A = this chain, B = another copy of it.
Amino acid sequence: MLDVALLGTGGMMPLPDRALTSLMLRLEGRMLVIDCGEGTQVTMKQLGWGFKNIDVICFTHYHADHISGLPGLLLTIGNSNRTEPLTLVGPKGLSRVYEGLRTICPELPFPVVLKEIDGGESIKESVFCINSLKVSHKVTCLAYRINVKRAGRFDVEKALKNNVPQRMWSVLQKQSEAEYEGKIYTSDMVLGRNRRGLSVSYCTDTRPVEALPDFIKGSDLFVCEGMYGEEEKLEKAKEYKHMIFSEAAGLALAGEVSELWLTHFSPAMPFPEAYIKNAKDIFPNTKLGKDRKSVTLRFDEE
């Protein structure tokens, strides 16, 4: 199972009752965060999942509302007694921006590893499979998709057919290969076909680009910006490279996702609920994001 929490729902600037947009995932006790603007550590504290097990922080881009909380968050993670390395992932520019920000957090009790990506790669960090896609904002910006794969069910007939010794059966359900009496056995000798996994996609600060529906295809949850609710704001959205609610819903429909959460609301839109119909008319399973709205996604038979 995969826990997902939308830490905030604001764009541009934090407001007293709306934290900046950030997503937190928890899998097997390890955590990944996408974006951390000013105040993300506060809403994280309210969520209560702790800080120490944050292994990866991904950035869509480096506008302040997506990264200004990084120095404080790193210091707070440090205060939680973390000593293991923490990885930052983001588009080109990460080293430059991190070098700039660390002027105010020069001493951390853990190493920070930087991974600059172009978008398009699939990388594994900690327990997370991270996919990225270059989207279209005023600066280079990435969408992310986190996949949780699920191995096939144990198949006793297959194990017998492949002459796998019985004492290796449980071992090969936990690891992909193992040696026994000089012979290598692999997990595919005892497991059926991979079962359906879980996936969460996250996309903010972009126009709806052509590759997005394929990128998010079949996600259990699609967290997407809805900077403006009103249809009349389409031209403004085009100018500032954002989306209106109905465009996000169009992506969710084309991507055949299970559920859409809207987020990254303009500070000039205090009541996004007034426009939810614009999305639901296109993609009925649209939910309005709320600060610290969370869900536990479970495998099919769980």
Pick the interface stretch among A37-45, A179-187, A213-221, A234-242: A37-45
Which residues of chain B are near A62, meaning CB under 8 Å? 103-104
CB distance from A76 to the nearest CB of B (A): 5
CB distance from A50 to the nearest CB of B (A): 14
Whether a CB of chain B sits under 8 angstroms from the CB of A35 is no
Pairwise interchain contact B15-A63, C-beta atoms closer than 8 A: no
Interface residues on A, range: 20 to 34
Beta-carbon nearest neighbor of A96 in chain B = B103
Pairwise interchain contact B67-A104, C-beta atoms closer than 8 A: yes
Pairwise interchain contact A41-B38, C-beta atoms closer than 8 A: yes
Beta-carbon nearest neighbor of A103 in chain B = B100
* C-alpha spacing A101/B62, complex, angstroms: 12
- The one of B64, B75, B100 in contact with A75, judged by C-beta atoms closer than 8 angstroms, is B64
* C-alpha spacing A131/B64, complex, angstroms: 32
Pairwise interchain contact A97-B103, C-beta atoms closer than 8 A: yes
Q: With contacts A64-B104, A96-B103, A104-B67 known, is A16 near B38, CB below 8 A?
A: no
* C-alpha spacing A45/B18, complex, angstroms: 12
Pairwise interchain contact B104-A100, C-beta atoms closer than 8 A: yes
Q: With contacts A103-B62, A103-B101 known, is A42 near B39, CB below 8 A?
A: yes
CB distance from A81 to the nearest CB of B (A): 14
Whether a CB of chain B sits under 8 angstroms from the CB of A14 is yes
Which residues of chain B are near A65, meaning CB under 8 Å? 72
- The CB with the most chain B CB atoms within 10 A, among A16, A37, A105, is that of A16
CB distance from A106 to the nearest CB of B (A): 10
Pairwise interchain contact A16-B41, C-beta atoms closer than 8 A: no
Whether a CB of chain B sits under 8 angstroms from the CB of A12 is yes
Which residues of chain B are near A76, meaning CB under 8 Å? 13
Which residues of chain B are near A83, meaning CB under 8 Å? none
Which residues of chain B are near A63, meaning CB under 8 Å? 104
CB distance from A209 to the nearest CB of B (A): 24
* C-alpha spacing A289/B69, complex, angstroms: 25
Whether a CB of chain B sits under 8 angstroms from the CB of A118 is no
**What does the 1/0 interface line of A101-122 toward B look like (CB < 8 Å)?**
1111100000000000000000
**What does the 1/0 interface line of A1-38 toward B look like (CB < 8 Å)?**
00000000000111110000000000000000000011
CB distance from A136 to the nearest CB of B (A): 19
9 A-B residue pairs with Cβ-Cβ distance under 8 Å, sorted by A, are: A12-B79, A16-B46, A38-B72, A63-B104, A68-B68, A68-B72, A99-B100, A100-B103, A101-B103
Add 14 more A-B contacts to A14-B42, A38-B42, A97-B103 (CB < 8 A).
A13-B72, A13-B75, A13-B79, A14-B39, A14-B41, A15-B42, A38-B39, A38-B69, A62-B103, A64-B72, A68-B69, A99-B100, A100-B100, A100-B103
